[in-house]
């Protein structure tokens, strides 16, 4: 297996100032990349929905790692489906095209688990990606990101452009987005429990009925997988990044309440959506380039809760 030597490479990381991006930059440096040659584009300076901004961003770069996304939980997906479709499609498709035009050596696209069909055999295998339409609340975002896989495969076939597509499962960890309007399930629940405790509430309302399952990947593990893929994976097929550990939302809420010492009643709001029924990944393909997750889930949750408590305003 040929390994890309990162030591002398100029590397662009879109979304590099974000939750996952900071971890990716740390892992790049651990893998030998020169911090002086890593470029992070900020949305205030580059609007990647415009081709000329993408062209400026990729100029003189050897490797592009595309993490930037307009993303959130079920609430944001229901409220802004058009924005999520347009923004993610335009950012990704123009950045890929600009990178190809600029002669970038390797393009690493980080996709989304929302791209999988609503009903997918568990654990999700990469070959099931096209077996049906995504869960409705996630579909605009999921389809937009999945289109980028088709683009990379097409550009590889026609132009020999080396683009890879990685599919991390739901992420969590310190420095996550805890904004209740756009956060994913773990940070949203941690904040909800914390604020209920601050107010002295005896009840905790939670969307859905608790039956769906989810798999969660610690952000540091995800970043390590992305950098390992950048170094060593050069195939057109998508690759899942996950742990293979599945937990119900009911058990997740119970565990967070236990770790945070909340002893009130959990009230399931069954008129609210559940989202996709089950999510758990087959992670065999990632082992081709040596990736397996390392963080134990309970410990990862503790780390995330501790970080939030220290930074809660």
User: What whole-number distance in Å separates Cα of residue 88 and Cα of residue 95?
Assistant: 11
Low-confidence winner among 95-99, 121-125, 257-261 (lowest mean pLDDT): 121-125
207 is in an annotated binding site: yes
19 is in an annotated binding site: yes
Mean pLDDT of 254-267: 97
32 is in an annotated binding site: no
- Burial pattern 40-55, b for ≥16 Cβ within 10 A else e, equals bbebeebebbeeebbb
Mean pLDDT of 135-153: 95
- pLDDT, residue 123, reads 94
Distance (Å) of CA 119 to CA 35, 84, 131, 240: 42, 22, 9, 17
Low-confidence winner among 49-58, 74-83, 145-154, 184-193 (lowest mean pLDDT): 74-83
| Residue written as token pair 């791209």 | 115
Q: Where are the alpha helices (DSSP H) in the chain?
A: 19-30, 51-58, 74-79, 81-101, 139-159, 185-199, 219-232, 249-260, 297-311
User: What whole-number distance in Å separates Cα of residue 55 and Cα of residue 70?
Assistant: 20
pLDDT tens, position by position, 181-212:
778 899 999 999 999 999 999 999 999 999 99
16 is in an annotated binding site: yes
Helix (H, G, I), strand (E, B) or coil at 157: helix
Give the residue among 81, 84, 11 at the shortest CA–CA distance from 41. 11
Report whether pLDDT(94) > 80. Answer: yes
User: What whole-number distance in Å separates Cα of residue 247 and Cα of residue 300?
Assistant: 14
Percent of the chain with pLDDT over 70: 98
DSSP state of 208: S
Known active-site residue 155: no
Structure confidence at residue 1 as a pLDDT band (50, 70, 90):
low
Mean pLDDT of 167-177: 93
- pLDDT, residue 78, reads 82
User: What whole-number distance in Å separates Cα of residue 289 and Cα of residue 240?
Assistant: 12
Instruction: Estimate the crossing angle of helix 185-199 against helix 297-311, to 10 degrees.
Output: 50
Give the residue among 147, 137, 135 at the shortest CA–CA distance from 81. 137
Mean pLDDT of 269-284: 89
**What radius of gyration, in Å, describes the C-alpha atoms of the chain?**
19
56 is in an annotated binding site: no
- Taking residue 25's Cβ as centre, other Cβ atoms within 10 Å add up to 21
Of residues 79 and 26, which shows the higher confidence score?
A: 26
User: What whole-number distance in Å separates Cα of residue 10 and Cα of residue 33?
Assistant: 9
171 is in an annotated binding site: yes
- pLDDT, residue 273, reads 84
DSSP state of 179: -
**Catalytic-role residue among 46, 141, 155, 165:** 141
Mean pLDDT of 162-166: 98
- pLDDT, residue 62, reads 98
pLDDT tens, position by position, 18-60:
999 999 999 999 999 999 999 999 888 999 999 999 999 999 9
18 is in an annotated binding site: yes
User: What whole-number distance in Å separates Cα of residue 67 and Cα of residue 289?
Assistant: 20
- pLDDT, residue 278, reads 84
- pLDDT, residue 204, reads 96
- pLDDT, residue 246, reads 93
Task: Specify which residues 167 forms β-bridges with.
Answer: 240
User: What whole-number distance in Å separates Cα of residue 164 and Cα of residue 239?
Assistant: 8
- pLDDT, residue 219, reads 97
| Residue written as token pair 């339409």 | 133
Structure confidence at residue 137 as a pLDDT band (50, 70, 90):
confident
CA torsion, ordered 147, 112, 80, 45, to nearest 10 deg: -80
Report whether pLDDT(313) > 70. Answer: no
| Type and span of the H or E element at 248 | strand 247-248
User: What whole-number distance in Å separates Cα of residue 98 and Cα of residue 222?
Assistant: 26
Whole-model pTM?
A: 0.93
Cα of first residue to Cα of last residue in the chain, in angstroms, is 48
Report whether pLDDT(79) > 90. Answer: no
Low-confidence winner among 134-143, 145-154, 189-198 (lowest mean pLDDT): 134-143
Mean pLDDT of 109-137: 93
């Amino acid at each position: 297996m040929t390994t890309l030597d990162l030591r002398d490479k100029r590397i662009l990381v879109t979304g590099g100032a974000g939750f996952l991006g900071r971890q990716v930059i740390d892992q790049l440096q651990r893998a030998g990349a020169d911090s002086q040659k890593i470029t992070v584009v900020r949305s205030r300076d580059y609007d990647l929905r415009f081709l000329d901004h993408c062209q400026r961003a990729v100029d003189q770069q050897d490797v592009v790692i595309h993490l930037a996304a307009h993303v959130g939980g079920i609430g944001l997906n229901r409220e802004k489906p058009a924005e999520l479709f347009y923004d993610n499609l335009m950012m990704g498709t123009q950045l890929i095209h600009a990178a190809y035009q600029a002669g970038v050596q390797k393009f690493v696209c980080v996709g989304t688990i929302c791209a999988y069909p609503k009903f997918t055999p568990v654990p999700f295998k990469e070959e099931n990606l096209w077996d049906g339409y995504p869960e409705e609340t996630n579909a605009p975002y999921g389809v937009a990101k999945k289109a980028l896989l088709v683009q990379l495969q097409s550009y590889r076939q026609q132009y020999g452009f080396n683009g890879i597509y990685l599919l991390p499962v739901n992420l969590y960890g310190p420095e996550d987005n805890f904004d209740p309007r756009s956060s994913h399930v773990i940070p949203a629940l941690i904040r909800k429990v914390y604020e209920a405790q601050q107010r002295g509430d005896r009840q905790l309302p939670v969307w859905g009925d608790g039956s769906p399952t989810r798999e969660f990947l610690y952000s540091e593990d995800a970043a390590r997988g992305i950098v390992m893929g950048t170094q060593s994976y050069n195939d057109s097929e998508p690759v899942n990044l996950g742990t293979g550990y599945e937990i119900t939302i009911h058990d997740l809420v119970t565990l967070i309440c236990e770790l945070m010492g909340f002893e009130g009643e959990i009230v399931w709001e069954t008129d609210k959506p559940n989202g996709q029924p089950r999510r758990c990944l087959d992670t065999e393909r990632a082992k081709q380039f040596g990736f397996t997750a390392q963080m134990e889930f309970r410990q990862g949750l503790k780390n995330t809760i501790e970080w939030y408590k220290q930074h809660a305003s």
